[in-house]
Amino acid sequence: MNGVHDMGGMHGMGPVAPEVDEPVFHHRWEGRVHALNLASPTRGNIDAGRHRIELLPPADYLRMSYYEKWLTRVELLLLGGGFVTAEELASGKPDPAAPKSTPVRPANTVEAALTAPYSYIRDAGPPAFAIGDRVRALNLNPPGHTRLPRYVRGRVGVIERLHGAHVWPDTHAHGLGEQPHHLYGVAFTAHELWGPDAPARDSVRLDLWGPYLERT
């Protein structure tokens, strides 16, 4: 979808100001929010989580800090999944009248769940493109989640890497199945993306799924 979250290549957003010796968390509550997201029963679908943040109103998205977005996301996912009620979320206490069930992730299983290896790599037959192929990113404007940035749509690049087949975010985010497709490392020159005034030696590399690309 097109939204304020897709900020790559946008002008007028101010300079990037890296923080020297930036801490992992600026406040204790940020660490707690990080832990809540990792331990949440909604953690199994990273694409749905990303899309939930994309749905924030633009003014809220620009106002919120990184972990404020994470907190809002986990709250909305828990509500949407029926894991908590609005009253429980507001009060921070379980509703005595709410149905009780076995926890999706009991406390004594959290560590194993967070350290167990998992992968989004899948099988999907042979790749459609090879290293060195010239490809164009399609000019798509999907209404739902996508990992195809606006600034690269319609631009031509070169396949540099083959990553194998991976879960496709565009369907996975919406509960429509994994539908794996091959993932490619594609290089775009700065001239191709930004025009002749861009530095000639600069380039951008993106990992893009096959359905985003066409051969030129």
Which pLDDT value is given to residue 12? 84
Which pLDDT value is given to residue 3? 92
CB atoms within 10 A of CB 172: 21
Which pLDDT value is given to residue 42? 87
Which pLDDT value is given to residue 160? 98
pLDDT in tens, the chain (216 residues): 899 999 988 888 888 889 999 999 999 999 999 988 988 888 889 999 999 999 999 999 999 999 999 999 999 999 999 889 999 999 988 888 887 767 777 778 878 877 888 899 999 999 999 999 999 999 999 999 999 999 999 999 999 999 999 999 999 999 999 999 999 999 999 999 999 999 999 999 999 999 999 999
Instruction: Please name each of the domains of the chain with its CATH number.
Output: 28-115 (1.10.472.20), 121-215 (2.30.30.50)
Which pLDDT value is given to residue 198? 94
Which pLDDT value is given to residue 39? 83
Which pLDDT value is given to residue 56? 96
Which pLDDT value is given to residue 1? 83
- Per-residue CA distances from 191 to 143, 155, 156, 160, 201 (Å): 29, 10, 11, 18, 9
Which pLDDT value is given to residue 188? 98
Which pLDDT value is given to residue 109? 82
Which pLDDT value is given to residue 13? 83
Q: Which 3-state string (H, E, C) describes the chain?
A: CCCCCCCCCCCCCCCCCCCCCCCCCCCHHHHHHHHHHHHCCCCCCHHHHHHHHHCCCHHHHHHCCHHHHHHHHHHHHHHHCCCCCHHHHHHCCCCCCCCCCCCCCCHHHHHHHHHCCCCCEECCCCCCCCCCCEEEECCCCCCCCCCCCHHHCCCEEEEEEEEEEECCHHHHCCCCCCCCEEEEEEEEEHHHHHCCCCCCCCEEEEEEEHHHEEEC
